[in-house]
Structure 1
Amino acid sequence: MQKDQLFTRRRILLAGGAALGAAGTAGVILAATEETARTAAAPVAGPQARQALAPSAFRLQPLTGYGPPRAAPRKVKVREEPILRISGRGRRMVLTFDDGPHPEYTPHILDTLARYGVRAMFFVCGECVVENKELLARMADEGHVVGNHTWTHPLLTELDRGEIRDEMESTSDAIEDAYGERPQWFRAPYGAWNRAAFQLGADMGMEPMAWTVDTTDWDEPGTDTIVDRVEEGAAPGVVVLSHDAGGDRSQTVHAIREWLPYLIDSGYTLSVPRRRV
């Protein structure tokens, strides 16, 4: 399908609000990992997993039972550990952004990525997707990959299996409505993985991705600190964690304008993980 056809389809999805049935995922992944994180019931994904935050007042409830039935996704292998790095030749890195989309910060990040011709991954929350579908359409049009980050960003290790499924399925449905495709990647909030998350993600055709370098932008440490963490952590195969929502992300917006050209000038290729059809 040509890009202009995809563009038209996504605009129809947004304008009409139709929930189109999926044809399933088109084949899965991927780049095998060379290093992995330890599996545990506590937050483990990445060197600096965050502490769970108190639920915010704007949290919405996951949507269930609306629209036509979805086609069953192609299942993938159930992993016991999340992907921390990507394999491949050369100085390749992956940039990822969590918790959005946000109408104030996400457009600035997309503008910077577009300026340098870089594609990234956005792990989005369903409650934010339903309010910002046009941003997911833009991500699709500009070649970015959208992943599932649950509906309300809960600590999955405190939920039962049915609650986890609801968080994940409703978010995949919202992503498909706005983006035109079901997600093939999943990231557990706070890096808190458990067996149910791995199993359910695989059942839904999603691979689990964590990160290698945490920018700590979630803690608002200052633009310079964020820049230093990315530049010092840069290495082939690295997956960088940043955020485009969940708080004041103005430091992230300013920092990426500094560290992105630095990485490019240093010979790094910033792209998304490869997939095998």
Structure 2
Amino acid sequence: MKKDQLLTRRRALLAGAAAVGAAGTAGALAVTPGNRPAGPAGPAPGPPAHRPMGSSAYRLQPLTGYGAPAAVPRRPPVRSEPILRLTGRGRTMLLTFDDGPDPRYTPDILDTLAKYDVRATFFVCGEMADYNRDLLYRMADEGHVVGNHTWSHPLLTRLGRRRIRSEMERTSEVVEQACGEPPRWFRAPYGAWNRAAFQLGAELGMEPLAWTVDTLDWTTPGTGTIVDRVEDGAAPGVVVLSHDAGGDRSQSVRALRRYVPELLDSGYHLTVPRRRYA
């Protein structure tokens, strides 16, 4: 009798341990709707010390100016020209930053965006991203979109298909390792698009996004001039181009601190594009 009681207790304990283990596995593999797993994949670094409260809410419900499709196609169509504006209702705008991440300027830009609780899109170069994966992780963790800006920022119209694919694929791999999912948006360096870039981008599951307002901040025209260009060009659906790397971007950092609160006070919603393809 005593032996039977011991066996019964042992089976109960084993069943309880199995249930706990299954629950732990389900939690570790959980994927937030329409987004990446809860933690980074591959050899990405662990989460940085800076982690704003409530950032995971934006992974659950990403901001968007696009209507949600009834079904999600697996691959975007091959376009003949890039997307220039955000579609949708309301006073929505996209802030985008190219060429980074750069540890001298990108953290300040992220700090400003976090201060005003807005999101942006970062088109990163693979050779910069590879050495600053912690910044990629922070971008994704704080609800920003990380896009593909090629590996070494070449002029794509002078390259063959094999080289273009390599530039895109290598960057997508770094982004996926750091953020947990591959990029769904890409931007051609210098805005120089060709048929191969559109085709290869679509094959890799990415849509081409250009811009409507160019701040020309790479010419270092002065903080006030950058602010004026953003505010003068502000309109529903506008996509603003700035840079967080590729030179001295201190003017871009200071300008962002000025025009973000002014855009918000004017009723603009600073958002990110929704991932529309699997």
Fold match, TM over 0.5? Answer: yes
Match of 2:169 in 1: 169
Q: Secondary structure at the match of 2:39?
A: helix
Equivalences for residues 104-183 of structure 1 within 5 A: 104-183=104-183
Answering whether residue 51 of structure 2 is matched by residue 10 of structure 1, we say no
Equivalences for residues 228-239 of structure 1 within 5 A: 228-239=228-239
RMSD: 2.2
Q: Secondary structure at the match of 1:119?
A: coil
Q: Secondary structure at the match of 2:95?
A: strand
Task: Provide the C-alpha distance between the structure 1 equivalents of 2:247 and 2:216, rounded to a whole number of angstroms.
Answer: 12
Counterpart amino acid of residue 133 in structure 1: R
Q: Secondary structure at the match of 2:40?
A: helix
Match of 1:210 in 2: 210
Match of 1:93 in 2: 93
Counterpart amino acid of residue 249 in structure 2: R
Q: Secondary structure at the match of 2:230?
A: helix
Deviation at 1:2, TM superposition (A): 5.1
Q: Secondary structure at the match of 1:122?
A: strand
Deviation at 1:168, TM superposition (A): 0.4
Match of 1:50 in 2: none
Task: Provide the C-alpha distance between the structure 1 equivalents of 2:119 and 2:44, rounded to a whole number of angstroms.
Answer: 22
Q: 1:258/1:137 Cα in 2 relative to 1: closer, same or farther (>3 Å)? A: same
Task: Provide the C-alpha distance between the structure 1 equivalents of 2:123 and 2:138, rounded to a whole number of angstroms.
Answer: 15
Kindly provide the CA deviation profile for residues 63-86 of structure 1, in whole angstroms up to 9, marking residues without a partner as x: xxxxxxxxxx94210000100001
**Structure 1 unaligned spans of 5+:** 17-28, 33-72
- Give yes or no for contact 1:119–1:270 (8 Å, CA) kept in 2: yes
**Structure 2 unaligned spans of 5+:** 1-30, 47-63, 68-72
Deviation at 1:88, TM superposition (A): 0.6
- Give yes or no for contact 2:150–2:168 (8 Å, CA) kept in 1: yes
User: How many residues are paired up?
Assistant: 224
Q: 1:2/1:206 Cα in 2 relative to 1: closer, same or farther (>3 Å)? A: closer
Q: 1:252/1:31 Cα in 2 relative to 1: closer, same or farther (>3 Å)? A: same
Kindly provide the CA deviation profile for residues 185-229 of structure 1, in whole angstroms up to 9, marking residues without a partner as x: 010000000000000000110000000000110111100100000
TM-score (norm 1): 0.76
Q: 1:185/1:121 Cα in 2 relative to 1: closer, same or farther (>3 Å)? A: same
Deviation at 1:15, TM superposition (A): 3.9
Task: Provide the C-alpha distance between the structure 2 equivalents of 1:76 and 1:82, rounded to a whole number of angstroms.
Answer: 12
Task: Provide the C-alpha distance between the structure 2 equivalents of 1:93 and 1:253, rounded to a whole number of angstroms.
Answer: 18
Task: Provide the C-alpha distance between the structure 1 equivalents of 2:204 and 2:171, rounded to a whole number of angstroms.
Answer: 11
Match of 2:221 in 1: 221
Q: Secondary structure at the match of 2:260?
A: helix
When you count helix as a share of all residues, which structure comes out higher?
Answer: 2
Larger Rg: 2
Task: Provide the C-alpha distance between the structure 2 equivalents of 1:276 and 1:108, rounded to a whole number of angstroms.
Answer: 30
Answering whether residue 245 of structure 2 is matched by residue 248 of structure 1, we say no
Deviation at 1:14, TM superposition (A): 2.1
TM-score (norm 2): 0.76
Kindly provide the CA deviation profile for residues 252-277 of structure 1, in whole angstroms up to 9, marking residues without a partner as x: 00000000000000000000123446
Deviation at 1:31, TM superposition (A): 3.7
- Give yes or no for contact 2:41–2:176 (8 Å, CA) kept in 1: no
